[in-house]
Amino acid sequence: MMGISSIFWTQAHGAATHFPIAFLFGAALFDAIGFFLPDPSKQRSFQATGYWLLILSGLSSFGAVFSGLAVSRSSLGGTGSLLQHHLFAWPAFALIVGLTSWRVVVVSTPSRRAFAVYLSVLAITCALIGAAGWSGGELLIGH
Amino acid sequence: MKKLGEGRAFVVALLVSCVSLLTILGVTFVLRSLLAGKQSQVTELRDVNDEVASHGRRIFVKHCVECHGYDARGEEGSDLHNLRTGDALIRQVITGGIKGVMPAYGKVLNDTDVQALTLYLRTLHS
């Protein structure tokens, strides 16, 4: 029943992609708020939340990627809308994994400058994953 | 876990990103190899630039993929690439269906939808 299989992966990808997007935006929000808070203990609380949300985003991004490969039948590029989707999705995936790895291995209190750079890259990643989500939605559903 | 300085952590992050992308590349290569021998070949979605054909594709995704497959290569339904029948017959099959084989969509889709879907099907070439 390849037809049902095809539908299954389309729906699975649509569902799976929401997790890394939501977790990433949550991580960006909490980390950004924590960055600007003057109280160190509140800052730590917000950044700890951001840390775990980012880890969840990194883990769930693999589910999104593998279900996406199943939908596109292992196409890494493609043409037209699919290519556009991939041009946003692949850099976003690489950045999510990179940012997650950095947060996991870096010292618990990185310098303010390093954290500012991290937040900037996080913002770029949010933009990329947002664009990937939008183009993916256009690809599957459209207006 | 041993914590690293910011610079070293950046190098680790870069390496992990590269390894992840390479893993995806490897998995894709394996999947493609596994699918290569099957009838449903690995295909890419067609570039649909025309607005009407894009509308047709959306209708196709909504109503047709369950039987014809996401790539229209045919699964339960037939392969819709390189249709040799005329547009009129394609429209007739869409609206009237094929008894016992394919349901009719005449009451579901309007004329514009049927026309767009037909145009989209015309863009499918091997």
Q: Do A7 and B65 touch (CB under 8 A)?
A: yes
Quick one: pLDDT at residue B50?
61
Q: Which of residues 67-86 of A touch B (CB under 8 A)?
A: 69, 71-82
Place A3 in a pLDDT band, splitting at 50, 70 and 90.
Answer: very low
Quote the CA–CA distance of B31 and B42 in Å, as a whole number: 10
Sequence spans of domains, chain A: 2-140
Q: How confident is the model at residue B43 (pLDDT cuts 50, 70, 90)?
A: very low
- The pLDDT assigned to A1 comes to 36
Question: What value does the mean pLDDT take over residues B62-87?
Answer: 82
Provide the pLDDT confidence category of residue A19 given band limits of 50, 70 and 90.
very high
Q: What's the distance, CA A101 to chain centroid? A: 13
* Nearest neighbour of A65 by CB, restricted to B24, B47, B76: B24
* Banded model confidence at residue A6, pLDDT cuts 50, 70, 90: low
- pLDDT of B19 reads 92
Q: How far apart are CA A119 and CA B91, in angstroms?
A: 53
The pLDDT tens digits of the residues spanning A43-96 come to 999 999 999 999 999 999 999 999 998 887 777 887 777 888 999 999 999 999
State residue B126's pLDDT score.
61
DSSP state of B45: P
Distance from CA of A38 to the nearest CA of B (A): 22
Q: So what's the pLDDT on residue B18?
A: 92
pLDDT(B47) > 60? no
Confidence of residue B49 (pLDDT cuts 50, 70, 90): low
pLDDT of residue B51: 75
Question: Of B14, B16, B44, which is closest to A79 when you measure between CB atoms?
Answer: B44
CATH code, A2-140: 1.20.120
Residue from A87, A132, A2 nearest B70 by CA: A2
Whether residue A106 lies within 8 A of chain B, CB to CB, comes out as yes
Average pLDDT over residues B63-87: 82
Instruction: Judge whether A98 is closer than 8 Å to chain B, CB to CB.
Output: yes
Determine whether the interchain pair B69/A2 forms a contact, defined as Cβ–Cβ distance below 8 Å.
yes
Contact partners, residue A134, CB within 8 Å, separation at least 6: none
Residue B50's φ and ψ, nearest 5 degrees, are -70, 135
Map residue B98 onto helix, strand or coil.
strand
- ipTM score of complex: 0.78
Residue A86, judged by CB atoms within 10 A of its CB (0-12, 13-18, 19+), counts as buried
Look-up: residue for tokens 């997650």? A100
Please list, in sequence order, all residues whose beta carbon lies within 8 angstroms of the beta carbon of residue B62, skipping any fewer than 6 positions away: none
Percent of chain A having pLDDT more than 70?
Answer: 92
User: pTM, whole model, 2 decimals?
Assistant: 0.66
pLDDT at res. A96:
96
Confidence of residue A2 (pLDDT cuts 50, 70, 90): very low
Who wins on pLDDT, A28 or B111?
A28
